[in-house]
Chains A and B, each alone.
Chain A
Amino acid sequence: MTPGQTSAILDVRGLDAFYGQAQSLFGVSLQIARGEAVALVGRNGAGKSTVMKAIMGLIDRRAQAMTFAGHDIRTRPTHHIARLGLGYVPEERRIFTDLTVAENLEVGRLPARGGRQIWTSTRLYEIFPNLGEMARRSAGHMSGGEQQMLSIARTLMGNPDAVLLDEPSEGLSPLIVEQMGQAIVEMKREGIAVLLSEQNLAFAATVAERALRIETGAITFDGPIEQLMDRIG
């Protein structure tokens, strides 16, 4: 199998990250097993989004070790990391509003690694019927919930083995949040590992077993999510 194999598909040790001169992560370590869903919780500005951007190589960072699927990703460019099978759904969704819904999915499409093309636009339109209805329409005209669906669907088009999901429930109606939850369950069923950043602990608990808490750029809790819920009360 892949070199330097560990049981974790994503293994991060001692991650520091910087916005220009300002350091905003301090020695973050986290491991996620194949197919596991882990919640990353913390209040506003704690550093949840920064963890994800740093792993993707979108901001300056350094780490003692950082592997994905056994590959050292510390010096790889962002697109390499994505091609190894690590998907990223940003908090701001970052839909290409000048493109149609179908074109957005096309941007996310990657040739399947290992020949298993699990996610196709047809299947994604089944999971998110709204998207199917507006496939040829401009993505600029979508509601917030629809944009969130499109952002997830776009990332799934790359047939990832793990996905970094940044606050997918933020600002959405309960009905849509439930739909998000179902989509995440569906992803888990296909064996995709998920790192889910959330402020909504109750929602996180419906999909994740384990939780990490981050405070001012450092991990302060790593364990079963119930335990964290008990602590916070």
Chain B
Amino acid sequence: MSLSFMIAQFLNGLASASSLFIVASGLTIVFGVTRIVNFAHGSLYMLGAYFAVTLMQPLLDLSRSFPMFLLGLLVAAALTGLVGLCIEVVLLRRVYRAPELLQLLITFGLVLVIEDLVVRIWGPLELLGPRAPGLRGAITIAGSQVPSYDLFLIAMGPLVFGLVWLVLHRTRFGILVRAATQDRDMVAALGVNQSLLFTGALFLGGALAGFGGALQIPRAAASPQMDIAILTDAFVVTVIGGMGSVPGAALAALIIGQLNAFGIALLPKSTLVLVFVLMAGVLIVRPYGLLGRPEPLSLRVAVPEGFTRLMPPTPALWLMCGLVVAALVVLPLLADAYSQKIAIEVLIFALAAFALAFLIGNGGVVSFGHAAYFGIGAYAAGLAVKRLGFGMEAALLLAPLAGAAGAAVFGVFVVRLQGIYLAMLTLAVAQIVYAVAVQWIEVTGGDNGIVGVWPARWAEGRVTYYYLTLGVSVTGIFVLHRMLHAPFGYALRAARDSAVRADAIGLDVGRLRLLAFMIAGAATALAGGLYAFSKGSIDPTLLAIPQSVDFLAMLLIGGIQQIGGALAGAAALHLLRVWALPLGDMWRMVLGLTIIAIVLVSPQGIVGGVAQLVQRQRRARTSS
């Protein structure tokens, strides 16, 4: 490796570190104050880029000068800040007291809505922005060509850091932001209106995201996919740096920038794995990131985010389950082929969603990367059939084993963490698995995936496959349900409600949670395997973030506090999707608005709502 090459890579790394820091600092400030991980931060970044693309040309037509370019960047940032402000006032303000899961989901609903709006306004194709006047060329440094714009970016990082530092340390707003990051309740008890503070934080965070996005347009085209791409990067930086810490974000951005620059040169394609290893390593040594702090203690008592008042099933419940299963058994006799196909998919999703409810509702392990295990199961089954010549039966046995193995490898890191750090790590893990599926083309077929994954002869008919799916799903759900009422399930709930107390009575919380993670992984992968054979093909979207969010949305729609919620939610969401099929791309908007509406209007979901109604009626009857 020559010196000039090293210098070029180093500068390249600095430039990407600058960009990363600018985006991540906004995310970390917003999280620090509001304690909400804003998934829509990537969307704000994307909006910043689109605003800049739209604004820049008319501005440069007025005067083709660098100050005009800067003005364009600043206006784009300010507009994005205003969008952030609106998001706070209209949505976030209503969910500050809600459980973390609902907060994350509502911001993800926003991601879907904004993505849809962007496609509607600017079209689905990439948009190229103008280059920066005066910074189009390259400069030779130590024998290698460095784009002038990269040097400009390198300068922007420290500049933004300095400005953010000044705002946080030299203004009353900044002092209040730092105080609230540490202890919101105390800040309120001293008479500070938190709403204004939060609105301000969202403006600042949005402006930083927008500025970051606008800065990219001379390097990369604006596209409707850039929101999710930057989101993962920004998450990784904030988690490694410590959520809520601006200097932490700067440090982590520098490390990741260099890791990427040299990683790509040394071990192409492995950078994501390197980043994951770094993230996992940092979190093991420092569970709150390099410069982060433990969650501040709050006076507020958190609402349990899982099954409450879990009773052993009553005869009436058994009867109801029996009726449902009986109805499912006769269904193929009454339904047409298309409905049978839908029913197969609902059964598969029900198993996967129930496994997630087992993990979140009972184990308190809020996994944001559930699709990883679904996809691992699908790929394991598909690869076994296509590359190893396995039969369907063997492939369906292999799928849960692969899921459990994957969950074991990642779970070792994941279950050590709590709350938001845990959720972010599961998400990062899923992104890695996704990247492997996309990039390891020789094995996985890349974006095209694997085709021709057909069931065994005897199971080829749709009705037969339906009964196979029904048998496997119902058995899987029944087994998981039995575990909830076994000592293992009780111990898991005890650990969920108070890890400290569970430790004190001699439960090995880490092992319990790891086991739960593996069981859920296995069940989900089994569902993934079934899915592969039902479709006949596999592609990486099965592993992607939107699929993970689908599973979470199923729990949300059905109700996370009721055991049947996941099942009802799986059916409701899939039927909604089928119904919205003719709407085409509108689906994103429909799903986004559905998620937002449920969080705001009926956070207990369908089954929770029904349970409440039944209770109210019963109470009315006894009192009359």
Contacts and interface: CB of A to CB of B under 8 A. Distances in A.
Interface stretch (B190-198, B391-399, B423-431, B557-565): B190-198
A96 B299 CA distance: 16
Given A20-B301, A58-B189, A58-B299, A107 B194 contact: no
B182 A78 contact: no
B184 to A, nearest CB: 10
Interface centre among A19, A94, A155, A158 (most CB of B within 10 A): A94
Contact of B190 (A59, A82, A99): A82
A82 B187 CA distance: 10
A34 interface: no
Interface size class of B (residues with CB under 8 A): 20 to 34
A99 B172 CA distance: 12
Interface stretch (B48-56, B173-181, B201-209): B173-181
A53 B301 CA distance: 13
Given A20-B301, A79-B194, A107 B176 contact: yes
A168 to B, nearest CB: 16
B182 A56 contact: no
B201 to A, nearest CB: 15
A103 B182 CA distance: 13
Given A19-B301, A58-B299, A59-B299, A82 B189 contact: yes
A99 B179 contact: yes
B233 interface: no
A158 B191 contact: yes
A154 B175 contact: no
Nearest to B196: A79
Nearest to B189: A88
Interface in A73-102: 77-79, 82-83, 88, 90, 94, 96-99
Contact of A103 (B175, B185, B300, B301): B175
Nearest to B194: A79
A110 interface: yes
Contact of A97 (B172, B182, B189, B194): B182
A106 interface: yes
A49 B348 CA distance: 52
A98 B178 contact: yes
Contacts of A106: 172, 175
Given A96-B179, A106-B172, A107-B176, A77 B188 contact: yes
B307 to A, nearest CB: 16
Contacts of B194: 79
A35 interface: no
Contacts of A103: 175, 178-179
Interface size class of A (residues with CB under 8 A): 20 to 34
A94 B192 contact: no
A107 B175 CA distance: 7
A79 B181 CA distance: 16
B183 A96 contact: yes
A155 B190 contact: yes
B185 A78 contact: yes
Interface in A100-153: 103-104, 106-108, 110
B28 to A, nearest CB: 14
A94 B175 CA distance: 16
A165 B328 CA distance: 64
Interface centre among B182, B183, B186, B190 (most CB of A within 10 A): B190
Interface centre among B175, B186, B188, B299 (most CB of A within 10 A): B186
A94 B186 contact: yes
Interface centre among A20, A53, A97, A98 (most CB of B within 10 A): A98
Contacts of A82: 188-191
Contacts of A90: 186, 189
A83 B181 CA distance: 21
Contacts of B176: 107
B203 to A, nearest CB: 19
Interface string B288-325: 00000000000111000000000000000000000000
A158 B189 CA distance: 11
Given A19-B301, A53-B299, A59-B299, A98 B190 contact: no
A82 to B, nearest CB: 4
B186 A79 contact: no
Contacts of B178: 96, 98-99, 103
Contacts of B192: 79, 107
A140 B445 CA distance: 55
13 contacts: A59-B300, A59-B301, A77-B188, A79-B191, A82-B191, A83-B191, A96-B182, A96-B186, A98-B179, A106-B172, A107-B192, A110-B190, A155-B190
Given A82-B189, A106-B172, 16 more contacts: A19-B301, A53-B299, A56-B189, A58-B188, A78-B189, A79-B192, A82-B190, A88-B189, A94-B186, A96-B178, A96-B179, A97-B182, A98-B178, A107-B179, A107-B190, A110-B191
Name the 7 nearest CB pairs between A and B, nearest first: A82-B191, A20-B301, A78-B188, A94-B186, A83-B191, A96-B179, A107-B179
